[in-house]
A and B are shown apart, each in its own frame.
Chain A
Amino acid sequence: MRKKLLLFLSVIVSASLTIALGGCQGDKAANSSKIVVGIAQDLEDSLDPHEAVAAGTKEVLFNLYEGLLKPDPEGNLIPAVAESYEVNEDGTLYTFHLRKDIKFHSGEPVTAEDVKYSLEKSAGMGENESQIPAFSLIKSVDIIDDATVTITLSESNLELPSYLAAVNAAIIPKNNENPAGDPIGTGPYRYVSRSPQENIVMKRFDEYWGEPAAIEDVTFKVEANADSIVMDLLGGSIDMFPRLTTTQVDQLNDNFTVYEGTMNLVQALYLNNAVKPFDDMRVRQALCYGTDIEGLLSLAFDGKGTPIGSSMFPAFGKYYLDELNDTYSYDPEKAKELLAEAGYPDGFDFTIVVPSNYQPHIDTAQVLAEQYKQIGVNADIQLVEWNTWLSDVYTGRQFDATVIGVDASHMTARALLERFVSDADNNFINFSDPAYDETFQKAVSTADDAESTGYYQELERILSEDAANVYLQDMAEFVALNKKFEGYTFYPMYIQDIARIKLAE
């Protein structure tokens, strides 16, 4: 009897303890505000901003670092470490006025010395190689006074500010000897810790120069297994995950807000312009006419996604030309005519190589193969591993066609269009058109912004008319955020800005 009573008591005590502790935990969580963000891959390249390579790394580092300038969600450049800047008439000398009250996470103020050191390191003048090719134009970085730094270029370049806003051009303290292991920047969050293959933890930087972040603690958790993302969201071990598929979104419940944006990349059936039959423009155009983009979107993407007609997406505002979507409308008859003209009245066979880890691209290839049957063209699909894709297709250029999305690493039209210059290293489709090369030279050497925009638009027109590739869409992006939070903001680049997220009212 006594034993039973004891047992009963202990159950009650432990139960009430659990409740009390549970309640306590709940309160704490609410006060200290903590968010766990799932990311698809680990940050293996480097936490040193000047050495980070992967887009997935840079989008996380965006929260730690800032350059002289930074991008805003509308795609404009806003002042960050620099308060303002001027550029001389021929676009070769930039003068930056530094912000006065700005501090590093270490508590030390940002000096002109730090800026000079960072920019030189970023431009590859130190021990490392530069991640920004355009920085080869930088002739010198000079300190004028405590709050003024100038950058001198060897030739005119109007896009320098866009590059300076990249994570790869972040300002870091000169006295930090280990930027990769102990990252220090000026961003709204400061670095706390990182466990490889597991997570990276950050805390709000209370002395941030701008509006401080709303959430105090952020953990970026590595979700290596794509199948467990939905489970982890539903189970509560992550609060947010960017870039979900429609199928994953369908499986979420009411506890999540799903934000819909665009991925800001050019998804296309990229054609190897150097191999038969794609060396014939008429064949490439025939494929364009034989592609029903609306049909593709409704079959494989639930109707979501923005059709595009050249290597440019809508987020790039002034450079983007909406009318290029209409260069080719779905017209199988016209496609057959063009094929017959090119000497393929009975169609032909080709292989679409697709990286096996990207389901949307695999789905796209399957729909395209089905559509091309209508014009008598037989497309086989070959799935390859990502590394094989990189070595055989992207670097080796041994392929007929591939479905992939190409993004822009900087907010410049050049980032998207330079790769189609005949001798560009990353011209993996072997596109070659003298008129294109000539126009590109004009676009980059013009000091007038309106004029260079015009040239860039001309380049897009050439790509579209030459049917360099079968342009498909800028894919829709879905971000799931637990309803405990609100305020997720899309950027026209690969960026996850946690500072704008706050607790829901």
Chain B
Amino acid sequence: MKGSGLNNFRFKAGVVISALMVLLSVIGMIGTPYDPNAMDASAKFAGVSAAHLMGCDNFGRDIFSRILSGCGTTLVVAFFTVLIGVLGGTLIGAVTGYYGGTVDELLMRLNDTVLAFPSILLALVMISLFGSGKIKLIAALGIVFMPSFARIVRAEFIKCRNMDYVSSAKLMGVPDHRIMFVHILPNATRVMLSSVAIGFNNAVLAEAGMSFLGIGVQPPDASLGRMLSEAQAFLFVKPSYALFTGLMIVLMILGFSLMNEGLERADA
């Protein structure tokens, strides 16, 4: 069938864009043309030039260097947020889906409670309780992201737990944890993959949102959300700052969205 498999255009384009973004971030972690936080009074609001590829901000900081470093920060926050979400969510989903009963009832109602709150609001509450900063932001977002993964894994486990291969594994005396994570879990990977892609995008946006509100990454560190928030004050004086930063967020999300869509088409 045409367009099936991972050979479709969307998937390839997604991979290319995402790889580019990851590459930029890695470059940003290794070294940037300028120190992303170094200020230079003579370069305030400098325009686009060979020396400053994207110009300079209000402190004369090189925007290109800040974007490289900001992409890295955002990517790291999003990666660990999703990692915590997936690990925690898988554990909860596996236990509740496999055992059912009271544990299931209890954990799932708790899960529903967390889901009932808008995720940003919940993260806000956690930040105001535990304080702001990169690590705390990752922790807060990670917890907020757990329930949605838990649901997906649980559904998969409920589907599988009464299947013949599980029953025979049980009869053969395979321990529960082995059945859960070695026998059943691999069946959930396909569904997980696409929700990870969506989750990753949400995490990028959540970081941007939280930092935009001033409670995520703290100045002077750069992250895409933090930079967008700074750029807002100069929207009329220096629109390119906001445009370049916004473009990066768009590209980052576009890459993963395309990959996800490609995956779904491959399934179809």
Interface residues of A (CB under 8 A from B): 227, 230, 245, 247, 250-251, 295, 298-300, 356, 359, 362-363, 365-367, 369-370, 380-385, 388
Contacts and interface: CB of A to CB of B under 8 A. Distances in A.
Which label, helix, strand, loop or mixed, suits the secondary structure of the B interface? loop
Nearest to B131: A382
B41 interface: yes
11 contacts: A227-B232, A247-B233, A247-B237, A299-B44, A356-B215, A362-B219, A366-B39, A381-B220, A382-B132, A382-B218, A384-B132
Contacts of B133: 382
Given A295-B41, A299-B39, A370-B220, A383 B215 contact: yes
B32 interface: no
Given A247-B234, A250-B237, A299-B59, A381 B219 contact: yes
Contact of B39 (A365, A367, A384, A388): A367
Nearest to A300: B59
Contacts of B41: 295, 298-299
- Which 3 A/B pairs are nearest by Cβ-Cβ distance? A356-B214, A366-B220, A298-B41
Contacts of B37: 370
A367 B218 contact: no
B132 A383 contact: yes
Nearest to A351: B218
Interface in B222-253: 232-234, 236-237
A374 to B, nearest CB: 11
Interface string B130-173: 01110000000000000000000000000000000000000000
B60 A299 contact: yes
B218 A380 contact: yes
B76 to A, nearest CB: 18
A251 B234 CA distance: 9
Contacts of A385: 128
B39 A370 contact: yes
Interface residues of B, number: 22
B38 interface: yes
B218 A381 contact: yes
B60 A383 contact: no
B25 interface: no
Contacts of A299: 39, 41, 44, 59-60
B81 interface: no
Nearest to B221: A381
A464 B110 CA distance: 57
Interface string B27-43: 00000000001110100
B58 interface: yes
A19 to B, nearest CB: 33
Nearest to A247: B233
B132 A251 contact: no
Contact of B219 (A227, A247, A250, A366): A366
Nearest to B59: A299
Contacts of A380: 218
A503 B5 CA distance: 75
B75 to A, nearest CB: 22
Contacts of B233: 245, 247, 359
Contacts of B60: 299
A385 B127 CA distance: 11
Contacts of A362: 219
Contacts of B215: 356, 383
B47 to A, nearest CB: 16
Nearest to A385: B128
Contacts of B219: 362, 365-366, 381, 383
Given A299-B39, A363-B58, 15 more contacts: A247-B58, A247-B234, A251-B237, A295-B41, A298-B41, A299-B60, A300-B58, A362-B219, A363-B59, A366-B39, A366-B59, A370-B39, A382-B132, A382-B133, A385-B128
A346 to B, nearest CB: 20
Nearest to A379: B220
Nearest to B40: A299
Contacts of A363: 58-59
A369 B218 CA distance: 12
Interface in B14-62: 37-39, 41, 44, 58-60
Contacts of B214: 356, 383
Contacts of B38: 370
Interface in B183-239: 214-215, 218-220, 232-234, 236-237
B133 to A, nearest CB: 7
Nearest to A369: B220
B228 to A, nearest CB: 14
A115 B237 CA distance: 53
Contacts of A370: 37-39, 220
Contacts of B131: 382
A423 B60 CA distance: 43
A321 B236 CA distance: 40
